[in-house]
Structure 1
């Protein structure tokens, strides 16, 4: 049984909204939360053509995996060879300029003149696109039956008093489910060693809480040390270091090998502090006051009790001494671009 709670990365993805009532679409666009990227269509034929024409642009999730003894997860053969996540490949995902334009959700009204919403959903070729049906009282029975058969993923009644609040929440849930499902589909093909971080509900909750604090819209799993890169709408980077006791010990060994002062090693050895990974990359540039420079990269760690006992801290990333650079294509720039072209596709 696949108990993965988190995909190894997340970034916002595109939502396609379909309704023949242009006034309803206009009002709907005002009710969606500002950071949800959407395109509006008043024609099922246009919307379906747009979605299915872009099917070939969907990224191959297999590129995120590698055989433990070398080779590619796509090369086949190898019998019982284990497959691991390639965290370097996962991090490179944030440099793809088209990552936000991948379609994750199609939302359609049931009563449409060219074809009804259920027929529209049946004709979407990409099985990982999540489908939401807007329905009225008269079509609720059909919606329930379609949900039970897996034709749609959710249905929302237009008459609900809190319909827009429900819609915003549903879209966010399905955006994450879209990427998690495509990742899980690939792990089912290969015998993938899924890291414990991605299976732990406590880590999932931590990321949700940090999203509100740091306002990040993307994350990408990292290794050595374990954790995640967090990216906000303007491309500002943060590094969440999230390690268990064994990983903390390996980190201390790296710090010692890099020539850190004993006082700093003592701080890290207590388990109550963590080091900014950027310091390991810039250790050769330490000035005449090494203690002060090393200590400035140490932060108090917070305990997280999940399936394992973790320590975590967040550091600014993307700085000159960091091993990562900010992406040129940012989510806020994408939203600005989408505002200029969205209505032209209707």
Structure 2
């Protein structure tokens, strides 16, 4: 069974290309403010923006691969991810989705999208009624990920739904890369439908970015304000082992008993990998999913806990300024 959740998720830019400037301006007003949006009315400007995207994606994927390789050589992944977030603010600029109108003067949307064969993002084609069969054929041939007829009733809501779905879809290459950091038993737990749904719901409600790790088992996530959180996952069958580990780390009798009974989780491995000061932290536990297989607990990391400050996604959006159509 394939994993249905993203193991590595982050926001990226959504690019629109349409010769109808009024339509682009309308999109700029209705698309949620927490999305990074770029609006282009000319294929030349769009092509210039996308020219270096395959190389930038490849460089970013290589940075992730190097983290995995260093982990295989004995370096913990958790501090590496935090350093990557701290030094790679440009990751938010990577084009994640391109939405292109089919009918444009002098060209068509499929020709434009076909120039992006090496770009690994998602492609959406906007079509008129006469173009729908072309779009269906392009979808069936794998040239586009979705198409949206412009005559669709309440097209804006429909388009936003398509974009949300694509932004949450696991990226095949990155999921394969990060899957290597999980043990088979951990992968099996994440494939349980109720567990996967609970994680999707939690991450969508609380974070803009996260990575799933196996050592320790859990998710490291960032909210829009740049606050970092650790969602620890613990198999219920392993609670006695965690309690013993907590006792060895110096926690008192009552804390150890609370861990063993499943009332609280102790972030022993988080404490060790991050070099945190003071006693090992504990947090209230809650069941993840309906199968009784996993318990979870949330630990907030303060700025002083981090190896380097992390540039908040909110600050990135503020630095982009207002949305305007680029007509060059």
Shorter-chain TM-score category? 0.7 to 0.9
1:179-190 equivalent positions in 2, closer than 5 A: 180-184=171-175, 186=177
1:174-253 equivalent positions in 2, closer than 5 A: 174-177=166-169, 180-184=171-175, 186=177, 195-196=186-187, 198-211=190-203, 213-214=205-206, 216-253=207-244
- Counterpart residue number, 1:285: 278
- Counterpart residue number, 2:66: 63
| Contact 2:45–2:326 (Cα < 8 Å) also in 1 | no
- Counterpart residue number, 2:51: 52
| Pair 1:283–1:269, CA change in 2 (3 A) | farther
Cα deviation code 1:118-176 (max 9, x no counterpart): 11111113342110000111100100000000111000011112211121121122123
CA distance, structure 2, for counterparts of residue 139 and residue 276 of structure 1: 55
CA distance, structure 2, for counterparts of residue 242 and residue 180 of structure 1: 23
CA distance, structure 1, for counterparts of residue 293 and residue 174 of structure 2: 26
| Pair 1:97–1:247, CA change in 2 (3 A) | farther
CA distance, structure 1, for counterparts of residue 12 and residue 112 of structure 2: 20
CA distance, structure 2, for counterparts of residue 176 and residue 208 of structure 1: 9
What secondary structure, in the 3-state scheme, does the structure 2 residue paired with 1:285 have? Answer: coil
| Contact 1:52–1:125 (Cα < 8 Å) also in 2 | no
Unaligned runs of 5+ in 2: none
| Pair 1:22–1:344, CA change in 2 (3 A) | closer
TM-score by length of 2: 0.84
Q: RMSD of the alignment, in Å?
A: 3.2
Count of matched residue positions in the alignment of Structure 1 and Structure 2: 319
Q: Establish whether residue 18 from structure 1 lines up as the match of residue 30 from structure 2.
A: no
What secondary structure, in the 3-state scheme, does the structure 2 residue paired with 1:159 have? Answer: coil
What is the CA-CA distance between 1:87 and the residue it aligns to?
4.8
Cα deviation code 1:254-284 (max 9, x no counterpart): 3111111112111111123212456667886
Q: 1:153 aligns with which of 145, 152, 156?
A: 145
What secondary structure, in the 3-state scheme, does the structure 2 residue paired with 1:238 have? Answer: strand
* More displaced stretch, 267-276 vs 22-31: 267-276
Cα deviation code 1:91-141 (max 9, x no counterpart): 443221111111111100010113200111111133421100001111001
What is the CA-CA distance between 1:305 and the residue it aligns to?
4.0
| Contact 2:220–2:231 (Cα < 8 Å) also in 1 | yes
TM-score by length of 1: 0.80
Q: Establish whether residue 123 from structure 1 lines up as the match of residue 133 from structure 2.
A: no
- Counterpart residue number, 1:265: 256
| Pair 1:234–1:157, CA change in 2 (3 A) | same
What is the CA-CA distance between 1:330 and the residue it aligns to?
1.3
What is the CA-CA distance between 1:342 and the residue it aligns to?
5.8
* More displaced stretch, 244-253 vs 106-115: 244-253
What secondary structure, in the 3-state scheme, does the structure 1 residue paired with 2:89 have? Answer: coil
What is the CA-CA distance between 1:185 and the residue it aligns to?
5.5
- Higher RCO (CA 8 Å, separation ≥ 6 residues): 2
CA distance, structure 2, for counterparts of residue 118 and residue 244 of structure 1: 48
| Pair 1:182–1:38, CA change in 2 (3 A) | farther
| Pair 1:204–1:327, CA change in 2 (3 A) | farther
